[in-house]
Amino acid sequence: MIDEKRIYMRDPDVIAVGTSGHYLFIDASGKATGIDMPDAGACSMLMRDLVEPTAGSKLREKPLVERLLEAKVLLEGHDAATLLERRDHVFTDNRGYHFRRGEPRCAHLVVALTGSVVSGLMAPFVLSLAYSGYAKQLDLVLTETALRFATRDLFEAYGVRTWSDPFERRDGIRVAHVSLGASADCVLVMPASAASLQRLAEAACTDLLGMIAAATKAPVIVVPAMNSVMWSNPAVRRNAERLRDDGLYVIDPTLIFAAAALAEGEASMVGGPGMLWRGPLALMQTLDAVMAHHRKRRSA
């Protein structure tokens, strides 16, 4: 039960993934809890609001809060300072790499970087996926704008096959979007800029990423990262909701540091929870949960 005298905030250690009629919550141990959620858009809005400590008195009219509390998605405290201290601890005590090798859990993983400045922070995640052997085959797609923040040479030097031009031919692959889309077991768009959300929502096959997303039957996981004001923009929210309605998996972002905020004191930035603070292991746990849910949904 929500206590009007207490303060609530979403747990930054819990990753929230929304799709059509359903939400998955992955905790710090990797345990996934699924909840039927007919109004995924309302849940996403609530998750956005609960990034900051919120008084229980302001939540009593929101029935979804009780479900999130039961799923252990929320932190509860007597004051906002205690919850903010917990959030700051997660931001500070984070893990950069996960190199423990294991058996492959995905036959073919396609990762796409888009035109967000956060693309420049993705090397630890991509290299961890490659070195740990999480996927038997890992392909990395960089959009034209992503190349402003990351280079193909870096990843190729570590043996990761990269793509950018939809007309590129290599390793016997002559039509990249058809081959990659058909063979992929999972497509991860991380980070996803506001512009990429629009293109994916419209199935705009204007670049290699859009073409792969339209040509695959694999689960597509989208990890938005952008200015917090942009994430609250109604048009951006509509695009995210449309992606969930179409069966894609959208990870609800939480606060991360922002280049604009550091440079100019502007609004904060949001990005996939766990993707930075809990590190690559949390990403692998999320991929596991989404692929398991997708298999279950297709067999139903």
pLDDT averaged over 10-residue windows placed end to end, the chain, 300 residues: 93 93 94 94 93 92 90 94 86 83 97 94 95 97 97 97 96 96 98 97 97 98 91 96 98 70 54 70 95 94
- How do 74-77 and 7-10 pair as beta strands? antiparallel
21 in Cβ contact with 37 (< 8 Å): yes
What is the model's pLDDT at position 33? Answer: 96
What is the model's pLDDT at position 300? Answer: 79
* Four-residue CA torsion sign, 39, 43, 48, 52: positive
What is the model's pLDDT at position 260? Answer: 46
Where do we find the tokens 């998605």? Answer: 73
Q: How far is CA 156 from the centre of its chain?
A: 24
What is the model's pLDDT at position 257? Answer: 58
What is the model's pLDDT at position 274? Answer: 52
Q: Quick one: tokens of 27?
A: 């905790």
Where do we find the tokens 């008084």? Answer: 55
Mind giving me the DSSP string for the chain?
---TTSEEEE-TTSEEEEETTEEEEE-TT--EEEEE-S-HHHHHHHHHHTTS-EEGGGTTT-THHHHHHHTT-EEEESSHHHHHHHHHHHHHS-----------SEEEEEEEE-SSGGGGG-HHHHHHHHHHT-EEEEEEEE-TTGGGT--HHHHHHTT-EEE--TT--BTTBSSHHHHHHHH-SEEEEEEE-HHHHHHHHTT--SSHHHHHHHT--S-EEEEE-EEHHHHHSHHHHHHHHHHHHTT-EEEPPEEE--HHHHHH----EEE-TTTSSSHHHHHHHHHHHHHHHHHHHHH-
This prediction has a pTM of 0.94
- How do 106-113 and 22-26 pair as beta strands? unpaired
